[in-house]
Chains A and B, each alone.
Chain A
């Protein structure tokens, strides 16, 4: 069965600090997709990134970067120079698009608080 573990439940940093959110996954499939989502205090869900299992290139988007390592089954998310607006719950998720029983499994989420 597929599983996503976000071992950190709450992280608190001071503005401008770098912070890394960890995500470890388990799957038996060779083809799968990994996601990160952001849920700010207002409650909406914001899609951040989707990565397929054949693409291990690291991704950078502004202050956000993602490190995908199949060898350790990890897909970690780093925010550089954090800002108060980064305060949110961040979810990592895994999907196996393999037919009738495709599932999207989310981790429990990490609550990030960025203090001014």
Chain B
């Protein structure tokens, strides 16, 4: 199916465990993003990537690691999960090619850290 997918959609883990959230897009968009959404904070950018092997920090990168070896995949890893990382995580992709460009979001992953 064309589009942007995230897996898993729901995840419960324990403090201290490593967790990887997957993001896959089928459009070959250059830009990809990870956000987290929390009540009272809205959406905050964690990391973004302008192309394969090019990543950079957003507003709240601490505790997270990303990689992008292939254009279509942009996994987000929580190296040692903490309760404060309980959130809904959204992945997005975008061409950033001009005035009609569009950013597409995945369906989100709801992560609970116990």
Contact = CB atoms under 8 A, between A and B. Distances in A.
Interface of A: 35, 43-47, 50, 52, 55, 91, 93, 100-109
Interface in B53-92: 56-59, 88, 90, 92
A106 B105 contact: no
Contact of A105 (B59, B90, B101): B59
B102 interface: yes
Interface of B: 33, 35, 40-45, 48, 56-59, 88, 90, 92, 99, 101-105, 107-108
Given A45-B105, A52-B99, A100-B56, A91 B48 contact: no
A108 B104 contact: no
Nearest to A104: B45
A103 B103 CA distance: 15
A104 B104 contact: no
